C-alpha cells in the first residue's frame, strides 16, 4: 500500500476520535500484501481506557494473529508512538512504522530504529494541525495520556514546557 | 506493601488465568501508600485480545488516572515484562517493577533499568512452575503471545529453541 494511503486510513480514525470528543490519534495496521489487518484510535476518553492508544487499539481490533501475520507489516500512525506503542510494535515484530508527525510529541522512534524497525516520518500538516488543535483545547487530557503532570503548552511550543 | 505480598496478588491473578484456560501471567499495581490501584491478568485466550498482557490488563483495570497516581508505584508481575508491558510501565512513569521470575522469558528488564526504573526479581518457584506447566501444555499459544513463530520448548530449555 502507498504510505500516504495508509496514513490516510490512520488519519480517518484520528478525525473520528476528535469528533467523538476523544484524543485524535489513529492507526492502521497493513499486511505486506496490502490487506488492512486492523484500524484503531485512541479511546482514553471514549472508553475510559488508559492502554487504548491509537496503535494498541489497532492491534486489539486486529485480534489474535499468528506472529507470521505481522511479518512485513506496516503500522501507520498519525503521531510518533509513545513508549507503550513502541513496545507493542516491537513485541509483534512489526517491520515498518510510518508516522504522520512528530512535532507535537516525539516518542520511541530512535529505539524502534535501534531494534531494526524501519521508521518513516511523513510530516503531515493534517496530522499536526489536528493534534495542535486538540492540545490547545484539552491540555490536561493530553498530559494524562502521555503520563506527565503540569506540562504547559504554548502556540509556539506544542511539545510543551515542563 | 511488602514485595512478597504484592507478588502474591499478581500470582493470584495468574492462577485465575490458568484456571480459565488462559495464559497464566498476572500483575498488580500498588501505589506508594500501599493502595492497590489495579489487578489484571493476561486475557489473550479469554477475550481474544492480543494487547491484554498481565501488566496492560492491570493498567486497564486501574482506569484513567492522573500521572501523579503512578509516581512511586510498583508494578508486580509474575513474569519478566515483554516489550509492550515494559513500554507501558515507562509511559506512566511507574517507579518500580517487581518480577516473579525471568527464567521462562526474559523481557525488557535492562531497558527499564536504563530508563531509571527500579527492577527487582524475586525468583519465585511458584511463578516459574506455573509458567513451565503452561508452556509445556500450550507452546503454540505461548509463542503467539510473545510474537514468535516456530519456537520449540524442552524440559531443559523453557526459554525455547528457535
Determine whether A19 is an active site residue.
no
pLDDT at B162: 54
Q: Does any domain span residue A153?
A: no
Q: Is the pLDDT of residue B127 over 80?
A: yes
Element (H, E) at A132: helix A125-137
Q: Does any domain span residue A160?
A: no
Domain, as residue range, for A21: 3-146
Q: Does any domain span residue A154?
A: no
**Secondary structure, 3-state, chain B:** CCHHHHHHHHHHHHHHHHHCCCCCCEEEEECCCCCEEEEEECCHHHHCCCCCCHHHHHHHHHCCCCHHHHCCCEEEEEECCCHHHHHHHHHCCCCEEEEEECCCCCCCHHHHHHCCCEEEECCCHHHHHHHHHHHHHCHHHHHHHCCCCCCECCCCCCCCEC
Element (H, E) at A19: helix A3-19
Please report which confidence band the pLDDT of residue A159 belongs to, taking 50, 70 and 90 as the band edges. confident
Q: How many Cβ contacts (< 8 angstroms) between chains A and B?
A: 102
Q: Does any domain span residue A14?
A: yes
Whether residue A48 lies within 8 A of chain B, CB to CB, comes out as yes
**pLDDT tens for each residue of A13-27:** 999 999 999 999 999
Q: Is the pLDDT of residue A160 over 80?
A: no
Give the cell for residue B107.
523481557
> Average pLDDT, stretch A79-104?
98
Residue B76 CB coordination number (10 Å):
32
> Average pLDDT, stretch B137-142?
96
Residues of B forming the active site: 55
Q: What is the pTM of this model?
A: 0.96
Q: Is the pLDDT of residue A156 over 80?
A: no
Q: Does any domain span residue B160?
A: no
Whether residue B23 lies within 8 A of chain A, CB to CB, comes out as no
Write the CATH number for A115.
3.40.140.10
Q: Does any domain span residue A155?
A: no
Q: Does any domain span residue A10?
A: yes
**pLDDT tens for each residue of B151-160:** 888 877 777 7
- What percent of chain A has a predicted confidence (pLDDT) above 90? 91
Q: Is A33 exposed, middle or buried (0-12, 13-18, 19+ CB in 10 A)?
A: exposed
Distance CA A113, CA B141 (A): 28
**Which is it for the CA torsion B16, B34, B84, B112, positive or negative?**
negative
> Average pLDDT, stretch B108-129?
98
> Average pLDDT, stretch A137-148?
94
What ipTM describes this predicted complex?
Answer: 0.95
- Quote the number of domains for chain B: 1
pLDDT at A154: 80
pLDDT at B99: 98
User: For B44, which of A64, A70, A90 is closest by C-beta distance?
Assistant: A64
Q: What b-and-e string marks burial along B142-160, b requiring 16 or more CB atoms within 10 Å of the CB?
A: bbbbbbeeebebeeeebeb
Place of cell 510494535: A89
Give the cell for residue A77.
500512525
Q: Does any domain span residue A43?
A: yes
Task: Quote the distance between the C-alpha of residue A107 and its chain's center.
Answer: 10
Place of cell 489536528: A130
Whether residue A66 lies within 8 A of chain B, CB to CB, comes out as yes
Q: Is the pLDDT of residue A107 over 80?
A: yes
Amino acid at each position: 500500500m502507498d504510505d500516504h494511503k495508509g496514513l490516510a486510513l490512520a488519519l480517518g480514525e484520528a478525525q473520528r476520535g476528535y469528533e467523538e470528543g476523544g484524543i485524535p490519534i489513529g492507526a492502521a495496521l497493513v499486511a505486506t500484501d496490502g490487506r488492512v489487518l486492523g484500524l484503531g484510535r485512541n479511546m482514553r476518553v471514549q472508553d475510559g481506557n488508559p492502554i487504548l492508544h491509537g496503535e494498541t487499539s489497532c492491534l486489539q481490533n486486529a485480534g489474535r494473529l499468528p506472529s507470521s501475520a505481522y511479518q512485513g507489516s506496516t503500522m501507520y500512525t498519525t503521531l510518533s508512538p509513545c513508549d507503550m506503542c513502541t513496545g507493542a510494535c516491537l513485541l509483534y515484530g512489526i517491520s515498518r512504522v510510518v508516522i504522520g508527525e512528530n512535532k507535537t510529541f516525539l516518542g520511541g522512534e530512535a529505539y524502534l530504529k535501534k531494534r531494526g524497525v524501519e521508521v518513516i516520518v511523513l510530516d503531515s500538516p493534517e496530522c499536526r494541525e489536528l493534534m495542535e488543535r486538540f492540545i490547545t483545547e484539552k491540555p490536561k487530557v493530553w498530559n494524562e495520556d502521555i503520563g506527565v503532570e503540569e506540562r504547559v503548552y504554548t502556540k509556539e511550543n506544542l511539545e510543551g514546557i515542563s
